[in-house]
A and B are shown apart, each in its own frame.
Chain A
Amino acid sequence: MSHNVIVPIGPYHPLLEEPELFQLHVEGEKVVDIDIIIGYSHRGIEQLAETKHLDQIPFLVERICGICSSSHPYTYVLAVEDILGGEKAVVPERALYIRTIIDELQRIHSHLLWLGLAGHFIGYNTVWMWAWKYREPVLDMFEMITGNRNNYAMFKVGGVRRDIKDEDVPVLKKALDELVPALDLFRGAVMDDPVIQARLKNVGILTKQQCIDWCVVGPTARASGVNIDVRRDEPYGAVDRLDWKVIIEKDGDVYAKTIVRILEMYESVRMIRQCLDKMPQGEIDAKVADIPAGEGIGRVEAPRGECFHYIKTDGTNRPVRLKVRAPSFMNVASDKVGAVGGTISDATITLAAVDPCYCCTERVAVINKPDNRKIMNGWDLIKMSQAKTNKIKEEMKQ
């Protein structure tokens, strides 16, 4: 007897703050296959970008995703500056440091957000509340620098829009100092808790080879021992002038992914401290004249992995083409190997472990394959049962 039981999660499910649909094909408790259906928040941003001025697009790409809302504009301005000869050739020194500060602060806030949600998924609501409590000071730092908690509007071609005031620097340093004990708390909570270890170790394993085959990027790949980080491989901003290291774990399970993210927050705190110390005085943006015709790419290590933008211009003030590839697009597909083979109760944390962001990933999905599956609800089963009774009645009559 063949089973084809499907457990749907979504599209509007309390577990997910974004709309997407997972279909878990299960046999008993075991997940045998998984379908990921996206496209519920597709907004056609690449096409909209072609109708906007080059200076308006940072505001548009900022709204691709709310969590990594500095990665996308940063990647975009890097792509435009690539046409002009590279970031270092165009942007003043002070702006490079401010860009790095914003980028790293965002990494801390994103990882804390993920840690909270992951805690919520495995039933540790205390971790959720704590992580989000200690995320608020990070948002306050953002508010101090940029004036907004979530959409920063800091990046422009040739520099940044707002300066960090000298009197704000000690306040920022103090806030960072207060953040470190909170990070110690989380590291202790995850590393010392036997329940969390039992729950996360050997769950949702991605091997190094699988990561390479499925083009996984970011902390998800680094937790499996793949040594990639755009910040080191192709430095942007001021990261090549700072002392930091790439965090790598070997195991590839959910536990390793958690550890990588927690340790990365420490590195980000270190980088921001160094930036605040080393930041020179001076201009924060260069006056950029016309953008010539050409093609450029930008790569930034977003909290979820490598974010990539390609832009083609023709000398006018609008791009001919803007292509966005967000990190989750690669990472979400790896659920196909990560979640399959596990149990249903582990599926949620495995799906969440890649830190999926569907707003980034959304694109028009065209499905060619005819759908032959039949999903039965209660009424179908009653009808089947009644049909069987009728059949037996017919046989009895004969």
Chain B
Amino acid sequence: MDLKTKALLKSIWVFHVSCGSCNNCDIEILDCLTPRFDLERFGIQLVGSVRHADALLITGAMNRKSVPRMKKIYAQAPKPCVVIAVGQCALSRHMFRYSYNVCEPLDKILPVDLYIPGCPPRPEAMIDGIVKLVNKVRGNK
């Protein structure tokens, strides 16, 4: 593991992008930061700019207006950048699959590292997913 990855795993700063979700996943992400779940004790923090982010949390079914913007945001993120798809919409477009405004699922557009299913996923599921990802990058089971 090089120094950059090691530093990245110490405290993951996340940037949250909603690409046409129903708000539920976004609320549950914010919920992770509040006293009951309190992700900040692991050093995980929401940041204001994508240029400071180590991970992108993406929610929602990608629609025509958000796809070009999403690509732009990913291009601005410093690499290595972990892309996390939160919620069923980001994974498979859920029940909006046949909508005229919804394009491809997220993993056809960006390289997704972690899928968190659920509608919406529980905060525990998100924390569990991130812990699993960190363990995998560190190389321990």
Residues of A near any B CB (own CB < 8 A):
11-12, 14, 17-19, 39-45, 47-48, 51, 59-60, 63-67, 69, 113, 116, 128-129, 132-133, 136, 149-151, 357, 359, 364
Contacts and interface: CB of A to CB of B under 8 A. Distances in A.
B96 interface: yes
Given A43-B99, A149-B122, A17 B24 contact: no
Chain B contact residues (Cβ within 8 angstroms of A): what range? 35 or more
- Which 10 pairs from chain A and chain B are nearest by CB? A66-B24, A66-B23, A41-B20, A132-B34, A14-B48, A44-B99, A17-B26, A133-B35, A63-B22, A66-B22
A17 B102 contact: no
A64 B101 CA distance: 14
A136 B95 CA distance: 27
Nearest to B50: A12
A47 B100 contact: yes
A29 B69 CA distance: 29
A364 B19 CA distance: 15
A17 B18 contact: yes
A12 B23 contact: no
Interface string B37-77: 00000000011110000000000110101100100010000
A42 B20 contact: yes
Contacts of B73: 12
Contacts of B31: 132, 136
Nearest to B37: A136
A230 B10 CA distance: 52
Interface of B: 16-31, 34-36, 46-49, 60-61, 63, 65-66, 69, 73, 94-96, 98-102, 119-120, 122
Contacts of A149: 28, 120, 122
A364 B35 CA distance: 38
A17 B99 contact: no
A113 to B, nearest CB: 7
A113 B27 CA distance: 9
A12, A18, A65, A364, most chain B CB atoms within 10 A: A12
A116 B36 CA distance: 14
A63 B95 contact: yes
Contact of B23 (A45, A51, A67): A67
A220 B50 CA distance: 34
